[in-house]
Amino acid sequence: MSGILGSFSLDGKVAVVTGASSGLGVAFATGLAEAGADIAICARRVEKLEETKARVEALGRRCVAVEADVSNPEDCSRFINEAVTGLGKVDVLINNAGIATAVPATREAPEEFSKVMDINVNGSYFMAQAFARNISESGGSIVNIGSVLGSTTAYLPQAAYSASKAAIIGLTRDLAQQWTARKKIRVNALAPGFFESEMTDQYPDGYLESMMIRVPAGRKGESHELVAAAIFLASDASSYVTGVLLPVDGGLLTT
């Protein structure tokens, strides 16, 4: 396929997806495989990771699965090295791994706050570093997974999570200005709104439904809608897009 539609294809590319053992991570891995990419995935839960690998391979794509903790820079380097060894190169990074807490600020322990920051912020940075050190001269694309909670609140006590996702915005902009020209790596971020995931399963019953009054679209997002946005940012279709935060939120940030 050529022309405008062809620019959305990931044929011949290798996409790296972190936190690919469940939820949106699985959706990213399989969605990018459907778009033509071979996939390298990592997570801490090995059995779940193998399930994702099987799904990718069922789509006719190659897949490398590696147990890794993104908050450990050595794990990040090892994962990217194994991806290059197994698949020949890396072209796209989806920095999806993340955790959340919902603890009142006066009761949140320092180690709870630090764990969220270690995985959500440090993990994204360490993985981006490892990716950039292994990119070819043709460049690539990094898509950081942020959140609308980096720009607004969710009426829940989520200081650590909100702080981490605000940090992702700054990280995205700075890496874009460092790497777009020098390394030909475009760096962008997605800001998902309300999507069902393992993370939202922790919320009180009826919480997501009660938040729909804030969403002009009047509904929760579907995973394929977020994956489509990731494919756009990962592909040549967004070749002149870098350093941006793209909300996929049904209009939440407009209210």
- Token pair in block for residue 239: 């070749």
Question: What rounded mean pLDDT belongs to the chain?
Answer: 95
pLDDT at 1 over 70: no
Q: Sheet containing 14-18: which strands, arranged edge to edge?
A: 63-67, 38-43, 14-18, 92-95, 140-145, 185-192, 245-248
Share of the chain above pLDDT 90, in %: 90
User: In angstroms, rounded to a whole number, what is the distance separating the alpha carbons of residues 25 and 41?
Assistant: 9
The predicted structure's pLDDT at residue 45: 92
User: In angstroms, rounded to a whole number, what is the distance separating the alpha carbons of residues 42 and 91?
Assistant: 16
The predicted structure's pLDDT at residue 203: 74
User: In angstroms, rounded to a whole number, what is the distance separating the alpha carbons of residues 137 and 114?
Assistant: 36
Q: pLDDT tens digits for 189-235?
A: 999 999 987 776 777 788 888 999 999 999 999 999 999 999 999 99
pLDDT at 162 over 70: yes
Task: Give the alpha-carbon dihedral of 91, 236, 35, 139, to 10 degrees.
Answer: 0
Q: Which active-site residues does the annotation give?
A: 161
User: In angstroms, rounded to a whole number, what is the distance separating the alpha carbons of residues 82 and 66?
Assistant: 8
Q: What is the pTM of this model?
A: 0.96
User: In angstroms, rounded to a whole number, what is the distance separating the alpha carbons of residues 176 and 163?
Assistant: 20
Q: pLDDT tens digits for 8-51?
A: 999 999 999 999 999 999 999 999 999 999 999 999 999 999 99
User: In angstroms, rounded to a whole number, what is the distance separating the alpha carbons of residues 10 and 62?
Assistant: 13
> Which pLDDT band, with edges at 50, 70 and 90, does 3 fall under?
confident
Residues 6+ apart with CB under 8 A from 93: 15, 16, 18, 127, 128, 131, 140, 141, 142, 143
> Which pLDDT band, with edges at 50, 70 and 90, does 91 fall under?
very high
pLDDT at 154 over 90: no
Q: pLDDT tens digits for 45-70?
A: 999 999 999 999 999 999 999 999 99
CB atoms under 10 Å from CB of 247, counted, come to: 21
Closest CA to 247 of 194, 198, 180, 179: 194
Work out the average pLDDT over 100-121: 96
In the chain, what are the domains? 3-248 (3.40.50.720)
- Token pair in block for residue 71: 């908050």
Work out the average pLDDT over 91-100: 97
Residues 6+ apart with CB under 8 A from 229: 190, 246, 248
